[in-house]
Structure 1
């Protein structure tokens, strides 16, 4: 997502497998790590281990940008990724 500052917004990320939450993270609790001024990555709270996941998952990623100004509405982006486990 472009055009926002972490000083003005909080960001959360949730990962779902077939609608079931498998991991969550956010900027307010230390789950967002800055790589450089424009790139970040999320560290999930739950440890996702290949053993715990089926061979094929239907991953839904939900990223929400939450403004610190209560007069503005959060912006949510969803996308799906189908993944197959590699052995």
Structure 2
């Protein structure tokens, strides 16, 4: 997501499989890790290994920039990714 500052926004990331929440993290709980001044990655705190996921999942990633100023609107980005298992060995 472009166009926001971590000084002005808190950032939340949620992962869904077929609409069911499987992991979440955010900048307020230490789940946002800085790679450099413009790039970050999220660490989910829920243990995805304990969720019974099928071999292939329909993953939706929701990233929300939550403004610190109540006069601003949240910024939302959705990414939809199909992850297919390759059982060839």
Tell me the TM-score normalised to structure 1 length. Answer: 0.88
Distance 1:9 1:63 in 2: 12
Deviation (angstroms), 1:84: 6.0
Q: Judging changes above 3 Å, is the alpha-carbon distance between structure 1 residues 4 and 53 closer, same or farther for their aligned structure 2 residues?
A: same
Is the Cα–Cα contact under 8 Å of residues 57 and 84 in structure 1 kept in the other structure?
A: no
> Secondary structure, in 3 states, of the residue corresponding to 1:46?
coil
The 10-residue stretch of structure 1 (71-80 or 17-26) with the greater mean CA deviation from structure 2: 71-80
List, as ranges, runs of 4+ consecutive aligned residues in structure 1 with deviation greater than 4 Å. 83-87
Count of aligned positions: 86
Q: Judging changes above 3 Å, is the alpha-carbon distance between structure 1 residues 12 and 51 closer, same or farther for their aligned structure 2 residues?
A: closer
Deviation (angstroms), 1:75: 1.3
Deviation (angstroms), 1:48: 1.6
Deviation (angstroms), 1:25: 0.4
Q: Judging changes above 3 Å, is the alpha-carbon distance between structure 1 residues 33 and 71 closer, same or farther for their aligned structure 2 residues?
A: same
Tell me the TM-score normalised to structure 2 length. Answer: 0.86
The answer for unaligned runs of 5 or more in structure 2 is: none
Q: What is the root-mean-square deviation of aligned Cα atoms in Å?
A: 2.2
